[in-house]
Amino acid sequence: MSWDLGISGLGRRVIGGVGRLGRATLFLARLAPALGVALARARLIVQQLYMTGVLTLVIVLVSGAFVGMILALQGYNTLVRYDAQSSLGLLVALSLTRELGPVLTALLFAGRAGSALTAEIGLMKATEQLDGMEMMAVDPLPRVVAPRFWAGWIAVPLLAMIFSAVGILGAYVVAVGDLGLDGGVFWSQMQSGVSVTNDIMGGLVKSVVFGFVVSWIAVFEGYDAKPTSEGVSRATTRTVVSSSLAILALDFIMTAFMLRGL
Amino acid sequence: MERPKSTDPLVTVRDLVFARDGRPIFRDLNLTVARGSVTAIMGGSGTGKTTLLNLMGGRLTPDRGSVEVAGETVGSLPRKALFGLRRRMGMLFQSGALLTDLDVFENVAFPMREHTRLPESLIHHLVLMKLELVGLRGARHLFPAELSGGMARRVALARAIALDPMMVMYDEPFAGLDPISMGVIVKLIRELNDALGMTSIVVTHDVVEACGIADYIYLLGDGRVIAQGTAVDMQKTDAPEVRQFMAGLPDGPVAFHYPAPEYLDDLMARERP
Ligand SMILES: Nc1ncnc2c1ncn2[C@@H]1O[C@H](COP(=O)(O)OP(=O)(O)OP(=O)(O)O)[C@@H](O)[C@H]1O
Ligand SMILES: [Mg+2]
């Protein structure tokens, strides 16, 4: 492919991407009133929350434990050079609550629940279930899309907290059981060094933002999918790719702001 | 072929013009559906029968002309009024369109839960009554994926009549059914229509079934009504396009092919368009 063709291809992609973002924003504007309506039927949201929880809980628990254990090993390896291994608990807790918990949970969520959400809505569209609802005078936005959106938005921060908690436990097991650190020191350093307002709230803000973005992308892609099996599978892939990129880019932006004390 | 004057139309389609992607589907369609009747709409594949039902349900808007249902012009209703009208119509989709994450019972209960505040015990009774009508009371705990095509159609029918609508539109209710289920559905449509005082619009290409239950038949072709009348009228007529359709002859005035360039030209053409 020649040089200028490459450039024009890139330009087309950028324009296509901006166009999609515009459509996704319009969709969000249409969805906004439905989100309010859906709140009145909390039962539907709880149902969806349960479904997403079932989908993602195990993978979050397992990944959280492993990430915590790895952090303990790696952190110890570095800290011990400066004779600072007593800060291991603090290092692990900060890495998890501020960064790894929210980001990895959101990535896992996008791959597991986000893609499933897109596929589900896309298939409902492809099999005329959404059309059928419209003909029964039921608006699918508040009935189908909004509860799933809420559930995803709520689930990500909850799962991120679980991820961090399990990660810290995993690190504790490795640090105390394997590396021979003192358990009391592990916890007390963590307790005195982790700030609720900065570190925990900062992580929570991130995961709330990630939850919103992933759920938004997932329901948009599902609702916007071409109503064919090929269209649905493409939409599923797009959900995972766009969510992952959005999570990492937003994480960079938010981290930059938070570290400068904004 | 004059229709009886005493009837009072529930649906009136007037001078309807509708095109899709620039290809005209309806050029000038006029028809009425009498209140309380079973009206069959027939025509070959792709003549726009499903499209017509979508126009009646307000899922599409006419390019010109109008579709009136119960005195309201469907295409220009605001969303709220349209939804109000749709609560009084049932539609049986060609594919059934059952909600796959709900079981049979909940599918039939769905419109009741969405549109009424009935107590649970009453919903339970009503759902079982509707399922009994279609003979699937015993299948209430199955999920749509566990149903055969014919069973799914019957569940969809139970759901379409869940709120006792004034009118039900059936899109190909007989397609792919075994003779027994077909007989059951034919009888059911007629009985529901008469017992519940509904109006039924049945889209089909099954000539025998249509003649068996319809009070009045419209035959669509080429974007308009090419013939209409009672079953007896239709069978007696000697208009060639009606005879072709009613007897299922491949050759005749009604084209079997989707519009295309000359076959030979197409075969000889080098470039794909
Ligand atoms: N979503 C769509 N976009 C563009 N054209 C469409 C669409 N749906 C249907 N059409 C076209 O409209 C015409 C009428 O389609 P319709 O589904 O109403 O036919 P039908 O009479 O119901 O056929 P069948 O008996 O096979 O169900 C077809 O020629 C089809 O190509
Ligand atoms: Mg059709």
ipTM of the complex: 0.79
Domain that holds residue A32: 2-259
pLDDT at A10: 85
With beta carbons less than 8 A apart as the criterion, state whether B166 and B69 touch. Answer: no
Our CA dihedral for B100, A42, B86, B62, rounded to 10 degrees, sits at -80
How much is the average pLDDT of A35-64? Answer: 91
pLDDT at B6: 44
Residue B2 has pLDDT above 60, yes or no: no
* Cβ-based neighbour number of residue A231 at 10 Å: 15
Ligand 1 pocket, residue B21 CB under 6 Å: yes
Q: What is the overall mean pLDDT for chain A?
A: 91
pLDDT tens digit string along B88-115?
898 888 777 899 889 999 999 999 998 9
pLDDT tens digit string along B123-152?
999 999 889 888 888 888 999 989 888 888
What residues does B171 pair with on adjacent strands? B203
Q: What is the overall mean pLDDT for chain B?
A: 84
Residue A15 has pLDDT above 80, yes or no: yes
Read out DSSP for B24-70? EEEEEEEEEEETT-EEEEE--TTSSHHHHHHHHTTSS--SEEEEEET
Is any Cβ of chain B less than 8 angstroms from the Cβ of A196? no
With beta carbons less than 8 A apart as the criterion, state whether A217 and A239 touch. Answer: yes
More confidently predicted of A205 and B45: A205
Is any Cβ of chain A less than 8 angstroms from the Cβ of B115? yes
Where does B1-88+175-184+196-273 sit in CATH, by number? 3.40.50.300
pLDDT tens digit string along A165-174?
999 999 999 9
Using a CB-CB cut-off of 8 Å, the residues of chain A touching B91 are 132, 135-136
pLDDT at B203: 92
How much is the average pLDDT of A14-36? Answer: 88
Using a CB-CB cut-off of 8 Å, the residues of chain B touching A128 are 93, 95, 97
Residues 6+ apart with CB under 8 A from A49: A150, A151, A154, A155
- The total domain count for chain A is 1
Of all residues in chain B, the percent with pLDDT exceeding 90 is: 21
Alpha helices in chain A (DSSP H): 3-39, 42-79, 88-94, 101-109, 115-126, 129-135, 140, 146-172, 183-193, 201-224, 229-259
* DSSP tag of A144: I
More confidently predicted of B219 and B150: B219
Q: Which helix (H) or strand (E) holds B232?
A: helix B231-236
Counting ligand 1 atoms within 8 A of each CB, the residue from B17, B23, B41, B50 with the most, and so the one to mutate, is B50
Residue B272 has pLDDT above 70, yes or no: no
Residue A41 has pLDDT above 60, yes or no: yes
Please indicate whether, in this complex, the C-beta atoms of A128 and B97 are within 8 angstroms of each other. yes
With beta carbons less than 8 A apart as the criterion, state whether B163 and B87 touch. Answer: yes
Q: Where are the beta strands (DSSP E) in B35-166?
A: 38-42, 64-69, 72-73, 89-92
Using a CB-CB cut-off of 8 Å, the residues of chain B touching A135 are 57, 59, 86, 89, 91, 93
Q: Which helix (H) or strand (E) holds B85?
A: helix B79-86
How much is the average pLDDT of A196-209? Answer: 90
Domain boundaries, chain B: 1-88+175-184+196-273, 96-164
Residue B1 pLDDT grade (very low, low, confident, very high; cuts 50, 70, 90): very low
Is any Cβ of chain B less than 8 angstroms from the Cβ of A47? no
Which residue is listed with tokens 């439905």?
Answer: A34
